A and B are shown apart, each in its own frame.
Chain A
Amino acid sequence: MSSLLGLLSLTSGALDAQTYGLNTVGQNVANVNTPGYSRREVELTAAGPTDPLSAGNGVNVLGVKSDHNTLLDPQVWQQQSLAQQQGALADSLGVVQVAIGTPGQSLDSNLSAFFNAFSTLSQDPTSATNRQQVVLQGQSLATAFNQMAQNLTAAQQSADGSIKGAVTQINALTGQIAQLNTSIANAGGSASSEGQTLQDQQRQLVSQLSQLVGINTSSRSDGGLDISFAGGHALVIGSTAYAASTVPAAGTGLATIVAADGTDVTAALSGGQIGGLLQVRDQNIPSYLSQLDNLAYGVVQQVNALHSTGYDLSGTTGTNFFTPLATATGAASAIAVNPTVAANPSAVAAAATNSPGDNQMARNIAALATTNTMSGGTATFNDAWASLVYQVGQDTQTAQSAQSTGNGVVQQLQTLQDNASGVSLDQEATMMMMYQQAYQANAQLFSLVNSTLDTLLQMVK
């Protein structure tokens, strides 16, 4: 192609290629703030000569390729999932922490006030005012237990509601992802500019999905993605979305999550907000409620055991102070002052013998405040309460710390993904090696740091 016409054609082709490139740059600039957008790059190739005497035909545009590093996608999604799980856990536990209250202003103060009332009664066991005070403090304590159990149950119900909402969101997202699978395949997958744009959109949706629940993804040959959850149950296969659903569990009424194939996958789910919400709903709160129930049951049993052997003002014995409970389960919700005692404060047994001036039983009951009656005789009632408060605080702090670290990992992976765009594969590999080696230089000292901290901890214990 050595004619003038041929030269013009070659120049025109090169200009087309440059225009294509400029359009792509324009698209990159326009989408600089678009979440999930991957940088586009024009792939040019030298156009081979058709004439043996020609040097060539300029350049041809092969296409536009997306710079997205798909290798890191599953990692980002996995880590996002873990960070969101801890985030949901931390948020829910924060609500529980508020419900539990602060030391000195919560159930511990009710316990102290109750036993102090018995102590005051022991100073004047025939005083109607003191007896009335014992009944009132007993009722306050029972109400505090009831309220605390109600707060924890409300937090559990709140987590349950959020789980149902999350399942609805999952179904909406998987529906859109399945539709995009069809569109991506029709657009020719990642080979076309349109396909790349659709893939960007799909990755955004998958990212949102991974924040709701732990997922596994696999790439399709047509450019789309198949998605499963809960150990292999399908959410999206090609153009079909498999909707999950929630069903109330028998007994508790709490939602169980059912995959499209009818399998109850609640126990198999992890990661994402749902993972965190399930953990707080099914593990943390039941554990706290159980501790609260044990404490309430312990108070009822110990106080009744003494009170029922004491004598009231009329010389009657065998009366329980609290309504007896058959089992610790549900004790915090059920605890109540015996209606007989509540209606008639003279029925409070302050005496250990049938003598109106005897105060020994009131003293014995007051002494329960400082007696190790809980946890196999190793803790007082207030110790048991403090242990619950500490547990909630510790769980919350652990979740917050894990969330913070998880967010750091997500940030790191996204930075790596951003760094990978716009550099050559060799540069990317070199960069990765340098990061690795710089980390390993520090990591060599980590075991020493760990053992030093261990030693220090032993010394200050």
Chain B
Amino acid sequence: MPDLAGAAVRRLRDVLDRIGDALAGCRLDDLLAAQPALAAALDEVGRTGLGGLDARAVAAEVAQARDALGRCVRLGGSLDEAARLVLAARGYTRGYDRAGREHGTPAVAATVDARV
């Protein structure tokens, strides 16, 4: 019986790796394209039955997927902080209200901690 759960987690990890690479390379198009792919991969993992799975293989895939997720979170945190720092220094606030007006106060940070 094919290891459907393992394959689904592997696909999820592939998408996470792509998001990590897009974040590291600041590739906006890839980052945008990854969102539906991530949703689809997540959906597939949720739908896949666990009957007949190779527990050790799935555990290994899950561990690698968690590593990939951790990488995304750290890269995303770094991107977020860099953006916040640059935007704040340029006088931009963080968001917009319903009327399209900017709101919030510039969050000026002297230091950045992108560690997780």
Contact = CB atoms under 8 A, between A and B. Distances in A.
Contacts of B86: 69, 71-72, 416, 420, 428-429, 432
A45 interface: no
Contacts of A411: 24-25
B107 interface: no
A432 B83 CA distance: 5
B62 A446 contact: no
Contacts of B89: 71
A79 interface: yes
A249 interface: no
B98 interface: no
B75 A82 contact: no
A70 B16 CA distance: 31
Contacts of B90: 425, 428-429
Interface string A419-461: 1100001001101111110111111011011101100110111
A86 to B, nearest CB: 11
A276 B96 CA distance: 43
A71 B32 CA distance: 26
B7 interface: no
Interface residues of A, number: 47
Contacts of B69: 446, 449-450, 453
A79 B75 CA distance: 11
A459 B71 contact: no
B38 A75 contact: no
Nearest to B57: A460
Interface stretch (A159-167, A295-303, A401-409): A401-409
B16 A435 contact: no
B78 A79 contact: yes
A217 to B, nearest CB: 10
A405 B92 contact: no
Interface-centre pick from B45, B75, B80, B83 (highest chain A CB count, 10 A) = B83
Interface of B: 5, 9, 12, 16, 19-21, 23-26, 28, 31-32, 34-35, 38-39, 42, 45-46, 50, 53, 55-56, 58-59, 62, 65-67, 69-76, 78-83, 85-87, 89-90, 92, 111-112, 114-115
Given A74-B112, A416-B26, 14 more contacts: A71-B89, A75-B78, A79-B114, A405-B71, A408-B20, A432-B82, A434-B28, A435-B79, A436-B79, A448-B42, A449-B42, A452-B46, A457-B62, A460-B53
